[in-house]
Chain A
């Protein structure tokens, strides 16, 4: 029910800055951007490890380090995406999909760290 309500688009399509009314979709998007964006970033720091091992390096430690750098990029993209996708349900869906895909990559191709 809540998600259905959140998906409804504001009847006022015009752009008015001074209307300071509380809007649930915008609130959900903001929450998703902050926490979901960070979550995608963390997932990317795991999921990009196998990708880095395929593309950039043979060293597991280096791959984990590259994963950290990629996490910022993914968090940034997720943050922006939360505010520019079509409607709020899509935003929740996409953040979820991205996280699941990245963590899935990590669990499909696990890395062993020899320290």
Chain B
């Protein structure tokens, strides 16, 4: 097409990257934050700092459910994960779906935690883009495929792979960006490859449904149940019975099987008011595979009914890829490395989009396309961090017991981002980035300040309690703000191209004419 293989790969790298870079940037940034979604969740509900660790949560939850959830078809107890322990009960009345049941937190203090989008917002946004019903997951699937293409073709853009890797020219902004793009690109090849491939493996049912639909009446769902190990389910018998009162013998059995502390993450009690009622315990996972490990007990007799079996190899491969994507297996150190790799990948995508434009500017190419991309770079790359900062700020500034807090937080996220779309029209690139980074730093630095001197004084409480999770998130916020300031200072000192060079180019052009 363009002469040889390498050239066509460079062409493909340029344009596939350009088309979806902003979408990929949004997905990667929020996805990177999702590694710490549990920690951000703790940060976004600071009322929990005052709650003491509870003993005997499960018996208390069962007692509360006995009072509040009479006649329900299912009781659930959410105990959260190792990093974000919870005590929450949920129940569904007959006929209610999984998503529209009732829930209540079992707080030990009077203050209920504030309503918030929580850290899970980042998780959901990064694969649905808040467009779950409108094909958001298709869009992110296409983005993942494009990123794979970008990673593969990116390898061929290097003429001298090793020389590029050890080369970093800080002095000139354009060269610095080219070298940074190359180095980060090489470092993150394995990370991006695994992340993008596993991302597509989440939704076989959406992306390649044809084969499953052809072979099975119920499509992918039936295929999935055939390749996964058999789960347990039992219908209600119709004979009335009282729900379980004393859960301790069953808990002892669970403890003998899963010896680690906080081993249970979730309990489901099916048909509590029926003779056929049974309890399903879900384990807090700490290995690569994403398969949920369960123990099922009969509610009336307390005997073990079912235990999760290991899957066969094909499904295991898929489970391991999904587990790698979610990173729930990662210990603190590895989680931090994954976070840094995610952040580097976001930087890779951002520098890629900016490089395309800079190449055009340098050659004095200017048309509606470059103007549009100039605007998108400013608005979409610069707007997302501002949006996130606005979301965090709204979490702190909005009154705690306001109605519709959830929607207001969402609006502040999109509002902050939307404001940047307008600002990007008003300012030229150089000015815009100066203002944008300063604004970002100010917004982020105000967060720990509010926690320090605001009405809650959560930071002080966290330091007194020695809550490392909360303090860690604050340190992360301050570090990001400082990084924004450093970048701002760097950008103000460096020029895109030296002035003498552009004069030389102009002279050359005149001579050529």
Contact = CB atoms under 8 A, between A and B. Distances in A.
The answer to whether A and B belong to the same complex is yes
A42 B223 contact: no
Contacts of A75: 145
A17 interface: yes
B3 A84 contact: no
A45 B210 contact: yes
Interface string A73-115: 0011001100110000000000000000000000000010101
A79 B200 CA distance: 16
A39 to B, nearest CB: 10
**Chain B interface mostly helix, strand, loop or mixed?**
helix
Contacts of B12: 80, 83
A76 B226 contact: no
Interface string B120-164: 000000000000000000000000010011001100000000000
B360 interface: yes
A26 B314 contact: no
B492 to A, nearest CB: 29
A83 B9 contact: yes
Contacts of B3: 13-15
Contacts of A56: 313-314
Given A83-B9, A115-B216, A76 B148 contact: yes
Contacts, number: 95
B1 interface: yes
A68 interface: yes
B212 interface: yes
Interface stretch (B58-66, B265-273, B363-371, B464-472): B363-371
B18 to A, nearest CB: 11
Contacts of B360: 18
A21 interface: no
Contacts of A69: 201, 314, 317-318
Nearest to B2: A15
A76 B212 CA distance: 20
Interface in A41-74: 41-42, 45-46, 49, 56-57, 59, 61-62, 64-69, 71-72
A104 to B, nearest CB: 16
B175 interface: no
Interface residues of A, number: 36
Contacts of B214: 46
Contacts of B211: 42, 45-46, 49, 64, 67-68, 71
Nearest to B153: A80
B208 to A, nearest CB: 5
B427 interface: no
A26 B15 CA distance: 12
A44 B146 CA distance: 19
**Chain A interface mostly helix, strand, loop or mixed?**
helix
Nearest to A47: B211
B1 A45 contact: no
A57 B292 CA distance: 24
B227 interface: yes
A67 B223 CA distance: 12
Q: How large is the interface on B (under 10, 10 to 19, 20 to 34, 35 or more residues)?
A: 35 or more
Contact of A65 (B217, B223, B369): B223
Interface in B1-17: 1-3, 5, 7-12, 14
Contacts of A15: 2-3, 7, 10-11
B223 A59 contact: no
B308 to A, nearest CB: 18
A90 B367 CA distance: 34
Given A42-B211, A49-B211, A83-B11, A65 B315 contact: yes
B197 A72 contact: yes
A84 B8 contact: yes
Interface in B209-225: 210-212, 214-217, 222-223
B215 A64 contact: yes
Interface in A1-54: 13-15, 17-18, 20, 25-26, 29, 41-42, 45-46, 49
A59 B64 CA distance: 47
A16 B3 CA distance: 11
A80 B312 CA distance: 32
Q: Which one of A18, A45, A46, A83 has the greatest number of beta carbons of chain B within 10 Å?
A: A83
B365 A18 contact: yes
A62 B312 contact: yes
A45 B208 contact: yes
B215 A113 contact: yes
Contacts of A59: 312
Nearest to A9: B1
Given A15-B3, A68-B204, A69-B314, A80 B367 contact: no
B223 A61 contact: yes
B314 A57 contact: yes
Contacts of A79: 145, 149
A66 B2 contact: no
B315 A71 contact: no
Nearest to A80: B152
A44 to B, nearest CB: 9
A20 B208 contact: no
B96 interface: no
Contact of A17 (B1, B14, B223): B14
Contact of B1 (A46, A65, A83, A111): A83
A64 B7 contact: no
B369 A66 contact: no
- A-B pairs with the 9 shortest C-beta distances? A61-B226, A45-B211, A62-B314, A65-B227, A18-B365, A68-B204, A113-B215, A71-B208, A65-B314
5 contacts: A71-B208, A72-B197, A80-B152, A83-B1, A84-B1
